[in-house]
Amino acid sequence: MKKILVLEDEVSIRSFVVVSLTRAGYDVIEAGTGAEAFEQLKIHPDIKVAILDIGLPDTDGFEVCRKIRTADPHMGIIMLTARTSEMDKITGLMTGADDYVTKPLSSLGEFSARVDALFRRIDVARPVDSGVFVQGPFRLNTMNREFEKDGNRIKLTEVEYAIMKMFMENSGKPILREDILNTVWGRDYFGEVKIVDVNIRRLRMKIEDDPTNPIYIITERGIGYKWGL
Ligand code: CA
């Protein structure tokens, strides 16, 4: 069964999310505080996706996200945010979330569709293909999903891995942001294309020598991005 963690301290919102996901066929584990969430993650190591509220009684969702991400680069993470300002969204993503959903949640259907999309991505992203890409200082092993620069391991999230693989398969070719969105997030993704830019920015911080002057992930004005190797 597809197991998912829902961390939200407001009972009414949590019930909404739990009902929505249970109907969609998920096995939902609930938590109301950061401490409870970590306890549940220990008890259920097979949780694959975590939905994290930001305002929590004992900590905040960004901190929880950061800790989960450090322990498990493969966990799918969706931030549940009541704050609408762009900066908060970006900060949430920079700490390692894959997606965000703004409260109040519009519909049960849309919410579970977002979760489905993330789940599918995590499932298909598991090693079905094989091979090793070696380009410049980088080495991407698609069997064990390890990514290295100059022989040093760089931990990638599922989304970053999928973007990286797409770049290495299309070396030197400009790629439309929309194509990255469709390939990595899926055609049924409801979000906005700028999520691509946010993830690219994070990826640059991990792999570029100087993220402000990127030489590997090159911006193609008006188009999207190009893997410069
Ligand atoms: Ca809250």
3-state DSSP helix/strand/coil percent for the chain, to nearest 5? 40, 25, 35
Q: Give me the chain's average pLDDT, please.
A: 87
Mean pLDDT of 223-228: 94
Quick one: tokens of 210? 């100087």
> What pLDDT digit, counting tens, does each position of 79-98 carry?
887 766 655 666 666 677 88
First to last CA, the chain: 41
For 123, other C-beta atoms within 10 Å of its C-beta total 12
As a whole number of angstroms, the distance between CA 82 and CA 85 comes to 9
Q: How far is the CA of 224 from the centre of ligand 1 (A)?
A: 36
Q: How far is the CA of 67 from the centre of ligand 1 (A)?
A: 18
Quick one: tokens of 14? 């949590």
Q: How far is the CA of 13 from the centre of ligand 1 (A)?
A: 9
> What pLDDT digit, counting tens, does each position of 2-31 carry?
899 999 999 999 998 999 899 888 999 999
Q: Is 53 helix (H, G, I), strand (E, B) or coil?
A: strand
Residue 83 makes CB contacts below 8 A (sequence gap 6+) with: 54, 89
Mean pLDDT of 210-228: 94
Q: How far is the CA of 54 from the centre of ligand 1 (A)?
A: 6
Q: How far is the CA of 132 from the centre of ligand 1 (A)?
A: 43
What's the confidence (pLDDT) of residue 129?
46
> What pLDDT digit, counting tens, does each position of 182-204 carry?
999 887 777 788 899 999 999 99
> What pLDDT digit, counting tens, does each position of 119-151 carry?
877 765 544 445 788 888 999 998 888 999 999
The overall pTM is greater than 0.85: no
What's the confidence (pLDDT) of residue 119?
83
Q: How far is the CA of 16 from the centre of ligand 1 (A)?
A: 14
The larger pLDDT score, comparing residue 152 to residue 94, is at 152
Beta strands in 74-227 (DSSP E): 76-81, 99-102, 132-135, 138-141, 146-149, 152-153, 174-176, 217-220, 224-227
Q: What percent of the chain has pLDDT over 90?
A: 52
DSSP strand pairing (174-176 vs 146-149) = unpaired
